[in-house]
Structure 1
Amino acid sequence: MNPVIVRNVKIGEGIPKICVPVAGTTEKEILTQAEELSGLPVDIVEWRADWFTDVFVFERVNEVLVKLRKAAGDLPLLFTFRTAMEGGEKAVAAADYTELVIRAVRTGLIDLVDIEFFTVGEDMEKCLETAHKADVKVIASSHDFQGTPSKEDMISRLRRMQEAGADILKLAVMPRSRRDVLALLDATQEMVTRYADRPVITMSMGGTGLISRLCGEEFGSSVTFGAAKQASAPGQIPVLELEPILKTIHENIHTK
């Protein structure tokens, strides 16, 4: 697998990188949350822009991005608008979603962008081309809050993202049983060992799927999401609890 390097953070190698969402509704809340990341074990800062009240006024989005870029310092900044269809805070038409993603990429203020693979549909090629021209890495994503698809379906989704040219492949599903969590982990392991030539991010959400956020290094998921204060998805745990667990697993994973 070829790791993706963003601002000296190597995604896809070693301990899963910790991404922490910033999810405020106002500029003040967003910047306060960003400032609170100082001193925490964070590898990537994610702005969950769908929480922002003025997200559909792009001048305001740009103003916040300028300040977030400064607050993030040397950390990679990931821009994400999670649609309501995939568990986010706001509904948006596919065309408007695509336009927002492209405009965010063109600011030159972000390092990575999350693009919902099945939301943009045929516009994925345009989004990828725009992002890569701006030297922005693309995380193609799919989120299923209704359940956990079959192992074959999960692998198929990830393979389609890879074939489309995304830099990182992301899949999040909701488990209805422990067996669903095992299916997600099995699909991750098979994708990484048989098909993937780039980083993969997977997770089984909620309390039932918590283990999937911790054992990525063993099964092949390269990034895990933790909360500073405001969790943006079910099952996220505080980064101060998450980091020592990841380190312990890393230090003992290959012990004989």
Structure 2
Amino acid sequence: MLRDYLDTLNIGNRFVIRDYLDTLNIDNRCMKGNSQVLSLAMYGSWQVASVSFEYHEPDIFRGCKPDQNIYLQFPKRRIEGRAVPVNVTVDCDFYGMTPFYESPEDMIKYDIIAVTGLSAHAFGSWKSPDQAHVMWLRDFLKIDLADSRVLTWGYHSDIKNDQSTTSIAAISRDFLQDIKFARRKSASDRPLILIGHSLGGLVLQQALADAGKETDEENGTLLRSCIGILFFGVPNLGLNPQASRHW
């Protein structure tokens, strides 16, 4: 995932990103046609792109590991007569909100937000097991629900060899904060559809319960806007973390 934090006009369009990525070395040589920019959407004041590579990832991307981002500097672009630097963050964690698709602002009727499960990945969990570049949220929901905005929300949920004591309550508080930010201004009362997989379903339930305990207008608007929740394999009867360590 690529994020441009500085200027919503800087990163350009998919072709600008693709052409730049194709100039990056793979085993000390360039490989034309290697890069695929499969989504480009706004989130706040950022543009966010999801990128796949047909053959191999560029050498510099191999340093992208969990909790360790990479920073690129695209060629400067001229905006309103001045050269503007383009600083881009490469992120393989997908923590927080990541947008995949949005119809034009005045045509968006729904927000769809998916939350992944235990020891899962906010992008990889929704990918096809057979086709490396195919991802359900990004590639298919926009066909069936073209008048929507589609996002995924990720968090640290890997418990293998991990002594983390992070609770569902803490994760749900982070989610509630992020979803409010994502829906501020014109999107605050837009109909909302939530998708929860495994532990993600429990996070959604806790977040909505917490919102219901508050009396402010922002939480009330969020609850009234939620028109549907889809659960996939949610352990409503309980979760055995010890057994999950062997997944």
- Band the TM-score falls in, shorter-chain normalisation: under 0.3
Structure showing the higher helix proportion among its residues: 1
Name the TM-score, length of structure 1 as normaliser: 0.26
Name the TM-score, length of structure 2 as normaliser: 0.27
The one of the two structures with greater contact order (alpha-carbon pairs below 8 A, sep at least 6) is: 1
Structure showing the higher strand proportion among its residues: 2
Task: Determine which structure has more spread, i.e. the larger CA radius of gyration.
Answer: 2
